[in-house]
A and B are shown apart, each in its own frame.
Chain A
Amino acid sequence: MPSVVVDSLRKSYGEIRAVDGVSFSVEDGEIFSLLGPNGAGKTTTIEILEGLRAKDGGEVKVLGLDPWKSGYALHRKMGIIPQGFRFFDYSTPREAVSYYAKLFGVKADVDRILKEVILEDAASLYYNKLSGGQRQKLGLALSLVNSPQLVVLDEPTTGLDPQARRAVWNVIRELKKEDRSVILTTHYLEEAEILADRVAIMNHGRIISAGTTEEILEKEGSDERLEVKAAESLADYLKKETKLKVEYSNGVVSVLLERPHDAMVALSQIEQSGIEWKNLRTREDTLEDVFVRMVGGSPTEAGEVV
């Protein structure tokens, strides 16, 4: 039985359709990632699953329960880090975990949980002295206290430095080994690509593509692209002179290779343009390429599309 089944979910705030007919399911023991820019409707979807918000329409079943009506029972089986997790300033991680254990009425091995999220070194620091990464790891620790079947992580690595982000990823991988289901929202494409078994890309309240990374790439991506480092004028030149699909970002001109001879066309036109270039390479499409094409931009650190 799937952990989560969402069918035609709708939620509006006034005129704005935050979630507009979203359907997906999360299988047992699977890491499922909702990917999308800010305002795509990820958090609203997640909060409806958590029983924090009422839905306007559609069907939602989480671990077999209606989250809005049975939230209290559901929360005992779920582990959740809300977006922008915060805790009491003057509590240590050790105290926080043991507080949650008492609230859930479970016997928790505090040291083991802190070790699991790699927070044992900061176990006795006040929350307001923890770094951003340590705070997120505390959130993870708290979401594990009740040995949940399903863990929901809403942007668990937003704002973290790469090292802290990797530490959080390791913890999420451990969750999968323990056969828990995980729903992960993120606007970091790399994160979804690395961690998730299946991905759904959301934009404007809808899921615009879903499946494994490979499935999405197969469906939405081209096999390969040819890239050179050059000025944007080269991209403009290629767009004018050829029928190739050309993208430009951060000093890289990227040509989609849809047909076998596209590479030859591209190379000869690049040569003919007379524009200076270097570092020729070919590579396969990534999730980010698909995302950029479907959403119309790549997400910044803060999740805005540019």
Chain B
Amino acid sequence: MLSIGRVMADLQVTSRQFLRSRVGVFFSLIFPIVIMLIFGAIFSGGNGAVTAYVQDNDNAGGIPTQTSAAFVSALNSTGVVVLAPVPPGTNFTQFLVSHSSSDGIVIPAGFETRFRAGEAVNVSVYGSPASQTSAIVSGVATQVVNQFNLYRAGGSAVIKVASLTLKSSGAKYIDFLIPGLVGFSILTAPMFSLVNISSQYKRDKLFKQLSLTPLTRGEWLLSKVIWYIIITIAAFILMTLVGENAFGAHIALSLYILPFLVVGPFLFVSLGMLVGTASNSPESAAIVGQLITFPMMFLSGTFFPISIMPTWLQTVAHVFPLFYVVEGLTNVLTYGNVGPATIDLGITLIIAVAVFSAAVRLFKWRED
């Protein structure tokens, strides 16, 4: 019979070991924050907006024409790109190269006159095919050109490009990073710790010793799961606070996050336990643990969205249980998208139950 008293007694010992050793505290609470500060600083510079160089060659006596000024202003108002003006008459290509950029827009001379006359006129968009920022600049330019064409045709926009507007007000890199790092914490804290303690306790015969008390294996494992749920929730709160205050992250807080903060640690406590007990020594357990943890850590969308990875690698990512945790957390935290998150949660739960059963089967108190 499961005894809550024994689970609580073991939970107290577990929490003391964790808090007093400090290693666990560092890796589960402080380390993710350090990563957030570093990655956040790297990628969130300039609000995450893309710089586009703009040369307005349509001017009269150095003053931009009304239409070209309106075009630049429209580009600016999208909020997606930060405009950097290039003096008229400068060699634009050379200017881009000397500023290590490939993204730019050039408004030709005679833009206003031709626009008013209804004659065809080309706005040149510079970019590199491989670059993501070029795609964004090109998208913004096309959007503004369409608005101008629509205006010229005397129509009003029936269909508006909502995606660009949404992007400007919503998801920045930090908004992807926070669910990713919560996932990172869900993975690493229980995984490293359980691999470590289960292999060490086995070597030091601490399990054997515990088996001489009324504590059961299930109770022992349960107290570890409860503890890492507590740690995960603490890490989540900490990351949300730092993300919002230091980087202005937008987190869609909802109770729907909770199941992930419960099922996630349950999964990785079990996986850590499985690796630890299946190994012959703490050393081999540590190696196997890292072989599993590191690819999963980088390829599951923790530090960057997996959408930037090649398609084949995105497919590979689907084998990692953490992928579903991070995808689910992103769905909830960044998009408030409960439907797809439910599927992620379901998959996570199924994997968790399977891993837990395997861990409990392999995990022995005593020997034959």
Partner-contacting stretch, out of B100-108, B167-175, B206-214, B346-354: B206-214
Question: Residue B114 at the A interface, CB < 8 A?
Answer: no
Q: 0/1 per residue, A109-129, Cβ < 8 Å to B?
A: 000000000000000001000
Q: Which of B5-13, B132-140, B147-155, B301-309 contacts A (4 or more CB under 8 A)?
A: B5-13
- Tell whether B16 is near chain A: CB-to-CB under 8 Å: yes
A85 CA to B196 CA in the complex, in Å? 19
Report the separation of the CA atoms of residues A80 and B8 in the bound assembly, to the nearest whole angstrom. Answer: 23
B residues in contact with A84, CB < 8 Å: 204-205
Return B7 CB to nearest CB of chain A, in Å.
10
* Alpha-carbon distance A192/B21, docked complex (angstroms): 40
Q: From B22, which residue of chain A is reached at the shortest CB distance?
A: A90
Whether A100 pairs with B213 at a CB distance below 8 angstroms is yes
B21 touches A90 (CB 8 A): yes
B318 interface contact, C-beta 8 A: no
Q: Is the CB of B21 within 8 A of A105?
A: no
The answer to whether A72 touches B366 (Cβ under 8 A) is no
- Bound complex: CA A132 to CA B331 (Å): 54
Task: Say how far B345's CB is from chain A's closest CB, in angstroms.
Answer: 34
- Shortest B2–chain A CB gap in Å is 13
Q: Chain A residues near B242 (CB, 8 Å)?
A: none
User: Within 8 Å of chain A (Cβ to Cβ): is B119?
Assistant: no
Chain A residue nearest in CB terms to B6 = A103
- In the complex, are the beta carbons of A50 and B212 less than 8 A apart? yes
Q: How large is the interface on A (under 10, 10 to 19, 20 to 34, 35 or more residues)?
A: 20 to 34
Q: Which of A49-99 contact B (CB under 8 A)?
A: 50-54, 71-72, 75-76, 78, 80, 82, 84-91, 95, 99
Bound together, the chains give a CA A90 to CA B22 distance in angstroms of 11
**Closest approach, in angstroms, between the C-beta of A9 and any C-beta of chain B?**
15
**B215 within 8 Å of A (CB atoms):** yes
Is the contact region of chain B dominated by helix, strand, or loop, or is it mixed?
Answer: helix
Hey, which chain A residues are within 8 Å of B10, CB to CB?
99, 103
- Residues of B205-239 whose CB lies within 8 A of A: 205-206, 208-209, 211-215
Q: Which of B13, B213, B215 contacts A95 (CB 8 A)?
A: B13
Task: Report whether B16 and A86 are in contact in the complex, using a CB–CB cutoff of 8 Å.
Answer: no
Closest to A86 in B: B204
Residue of A nearest to B365 (CB): A52
Chain A residues whose C-beta falls within 8 Å of the C-beta of B367 in the assembled complex: 52-53
Alpha-carbon gap, A102 to B8, bound state (A)? 9
Does B13 lie within 8 Å of A82, measured CB to CB?
no
With A52-B367, A53-B367: A89-B208 Cβ-Cβ less than 8 Å: no
**A277: B residues at CB distance < 8 A:** none
Given contacts A82-B205, A126-B20, contact A53 B368 (CB under 8 A): yes
Question: Contacts A51-B366, A95-B13, A99-B12; is A88 near B206 (CB within 8 Å)?
Answer: yes
- Please indicate the chain B residues that have their CB under 8 angstroms from the CB of A88 in the complex: 13, 17, 206
Chain A CB within 10 A, most for which of B20, B21, B205, B213: B213
Whether A102 pairs with B206 at a CB distance below 8 angstroms is no
CA distance in complex: A285, B336 (Å):
86
CA distance A82 to B13 in the complex (A): 20
Q: Which residues of B are at the interface with A, using a C-beta cutoff of 8 A?
A: 3, 5-6, 8-10, 12-13, 16-17, 20-21, 204-206, 208-209, 211-215, 366-368
- Known pairs A80-B212, A103-B9, A104-B214; list 20 more (Cβ under 8 Å): A50-B212, A52-B208, A54-B368, A71-B366, A75-B211, A75-B213, A75-B214, A82-B212, A87-B209, A88-B13, A90-B20, A91-B16, A91-B17, A95-B16, A99-B12, A100-B213, A103-B10, A103-B213, A105-B6, A105-B214
| 5 A-B residue pairings within 8 Å (CB atoms) | A50-B212, A72-B214, A75-B211, A87-B206, A87-B209
